[in-house]
Amino acid sequence: MTTYKGINGFAVQSVATDPSPLDEGQVWYNNATYAFKVTTATTVGTWATGGSMNTSRAYYQGTGIQTAALGFGGYLSTATPSNATEKYDGTSWTSSGNLNTGRYNIGAFGTQTAAVGVGGDTRPPGTQFNNSVENYNGTSWTAGTSYPLSLQSALGFGTQTAGLVAGGGLAPPGSRTTVTNAYNGSSWTTVNSMNTARSAGGAAGVQTSALYFGGSAVPGNTNATESWNGSTWTTVNSLNNTRQGLGGAGSSNVSALAFGGVSPPGAALSATELWNGTSWTNNPNGLANARMQLGSCGTQTAALAMGGQPYGSLGTATEEFTGPGTAQTKTITTS
């Protein structure tokens, strides 16, 4: 009789807890749950419902990873800039220390315990565009070195001590910039500019390897993608869906995720696209809640979409993305 050991040269391991990390095709017996299990890999990316935020908001970014995320600032239903900060542990959101200056369209980068907020719209008219910077230590916000420009809807990449900010909207409203600045935790250094002036795009990557995609340009929304190698921006293949106010996630300029956003005539989108370093591919499964101006963070295989604006309202919904190729545990049955 053919046995598993005879085929593979070793017996099925019996353990009290599921092993970690997992390899695709790995088989074991969990003697605590009396079940045979196997590791499989996802074939397409999927979105699943996460814990709802405490504050309904839109027009903001997020930082961190799927299981340790940070959302701050934003636009409230009363047309008031928010200073609220919330942490996500992979299950639920907890309020944690307010920004000193409430604002929306705030640029963001860093981690859950070491984040940076840049610029934004503070209202009332006349004080819309802001160059103030705040640093977060996991508990509270303190003032940082002001950004060289007063702007809103800029994108941030990297960490609190090795960050990058690109693009953004300028005064008067309607102007866009290509300016890019690097941040070392205490000061800003101007580096090479982007090729397309824009704001409110999607971001992925770090200070030395970043991707900027989509956004609001002049005269309208764009699907342009630019790759940053640590010294220059290069125009690469465009998104399949032209949009601005979208979510972005990813660890570098060769691995990114784009989702949500808005495109003429103004309907919020659910479409999700994957970037492999060369081109964008439409993922069969989009967001369950189409939305724009949402917060986002994470990687291509483990991203987070939070809050945002399902057209005409503000939301608290959180969705978690599991990318294709991600290892998953399944129980072996006879069916």
Please report the pLDDT score of residue 93 as a whole number. 98
166 neighbors 204 (Cβ within 8 angstroms): no
Q: How many residues does the chain have?
A: 335
Tell me how far apart the alpha carbons of residues 222 and 205 are, in angstroms, rounded to a whole number. Answer: 20
Please report the pLDDT score of residue 6 as a whole number. 53
Q: Where are the domains of the chain?
A: 4-41, 46-322
Global confidence as pTM: 0.87
Tell me how far apart the alpha carbons of residues 158 and 112 are, in angstroms, rounded to a whole number. Answer: 12
Residue 135: Cβ-neighbour burial (10 angstroms; 0-12, 13-18, 19+): buried
Please report the pLDDT score of residue 303 as a whole number. 98
Spatial CA neighbour of 68 closest among 329, 299, 258, 300: 299
Residue 266 is given by DSSP the state T
Please report the pLDDT score of residue 251 as a whole number. 97
Q: What is the mean pLDDT of each run of 10 residues along the chain (335 residues)?
A: 52 78 72 72 85 94 96 88 96 96 95 97 76 97 97 97 97 88 98 97 98 95 97 98 97 98 88 98 96 97 95 88 76 67
The rounded mean pLDDT for the chain is: 90
- Give 67-99 pLDDT, tens digit per residue: 999 999 999 877 789 999 999 999 999 999 999
Q: 4: helix, coil or strand? A: helix
Please report the pLDDT score of residue 310 as a whole number. 86
- Give 135-176 pLDDT, tens digit per residue: 999 999 999 999 999 999 999 999 999 999 999 999 877 899
DSSP state letters, 57-98: BBS--EEEETTEEEEE--B-TTS-B---EEEE-SS-EEE---
Tell me how far apart the alpha carbons of residues 58 and 286 are, in angstroms, rounded to a whole number. Answer: 19
Query: Which tokens hold the place of 286?
Result: 């989009």
Please report the pLDDT score of residue 327 as a whole number. 64
Rounded to the nearest 5 percent, the helix, strand and coil shares of the chain are 0, 45, 55
Q: Does domain 46-322 have CATH number 1.10.150.120?
A: no
